[in-house]
Amino acid sequence: MGKKSLVLCLSFFYLLIVWGVYRFYTDFSEPWDELVFKPLLWLGMIIFLVLRLEKRKLRSLGIVFKKPLKNIFLGLGVGILITSQYLFALAIKGGRIMFNPQNLKLTNLFLYFFVCLSTAAVEEITFRGFFMTRINEIIKNKLNANIMAGLIFFLIHLPILLLDYQLGLRGIGEYFILSLGLGIIDGYVFWKTKGVLAPIASHFFLNYLNLFLG
């Protein structure tokens, strides 16, 4: 196993074990998880690997700000397109759409704006900026690297889905299809824009919209 492959494997098992144990044994609120502990536990590890072990700059994670407004609006457009397709499919099936299903107040919606933004930034930098780009450097295939990054995303969340959310087989399957599909789309946007801004905007929009629609 080469050095790059070893680093990826160790990174995967670090996130799988550390984040799984953290979520199972702690009972902090979601804002604490997503605004404080996820950035520390995830990005702390990623930044250390990039700066100290790889001896590379953060640009290698796609953290670039070339044409920021264009990329942000592109990402929001992708998020709107995905949402429109979901709502259209739900309407055809006769599903019911609820506005603000969690009855969140204005102050909570403001707080969760930053929660969703933090979640999107951390996860896109981790899975698209780090895992996907490093996998592509090894296998030299952007599509397969994209798919593999989506699988890693699913596997790292699997212990939480089973132990914390206690999802059944159907729920796990639905989450797998959804996370892999959205991951592939965000990965494609990452490659086209050569940065994480557009995928972050898309990811953020979908997460934040879930607070309003259910």
Q: What's the pLDDT at 143? A: 95
Question: Band of the pLDDT at 18, cuts 50, 70, 90?
Answer: very high
The rounded percent of the chain whose pLDDT value lies above 70 is 95
pLDDT at 93: 67
Q: Reply yes or no on whether the pLDDT at 91 is more than 80.
A: no
Q: What angle do CA 68, 81, 61 make, to 5 degrees?
A: 35
- What is the average pLDDT across 167-182? 89
Model confidence band, residue 75 (pLDDT cutoffs 50, 70, 90): very high
Angle at 186 between CA 143 and CA 38, to 5 degrees: 115
Q: With the C-alpha atoms ordered 173, 177, 182, 183, is the resulting torsion angle positive or negative?
A: positive
| CA–CA distance, 184 with 214 (Å, rounded to integer) | 23
Asked whether the predicted pLDDT for residue 96 surpasses 80, the reply is: no
Res. 118: pLDDT tops 80:
yes
pTM: 0.93
Check whether 214 has a pLDDT greater than 70: no
Looking at residues 155-177, what average pLDDT do you find?
A: 87
Residue 9 CB partners (closer than 8 Å, separation 6+): 1
What would the mean pLDDT of 124-146 be, rounded to a whole number?
Answer: 97
pLDDT recorded at residue 1: 65
Answer whether 19's CB lies under 8 Å from 42's CB. yes
- Residue 74 · residue 200 · CB < 8 Å: no
Q: Would the pLDDT of 94 be above 90?
A: no
CB 19 within 8 A of CB 156: yes
For the stretch 47-69, pLDDT in tens is 999 999 999 999 999 999 889 99
pLDDT higher for 101 or 60?
Answer: 60
Return the exposure string of 116-140: e unless at least 16 CB atoms fall within 10 Å of the residue's CB, then b. Answer: bbbbbbbbbbbbbbbbbbbbbeeee
Please check whether residue 147 is in contact with residue 181, taking contact to mean a CB–CB distance below 8 angstroms: no
In the predicted model, what is the mean pLDDT of residues 161-187? 88
Rounded to 5, what percent of the chain is helix, strand, coil? 80, 0, 20
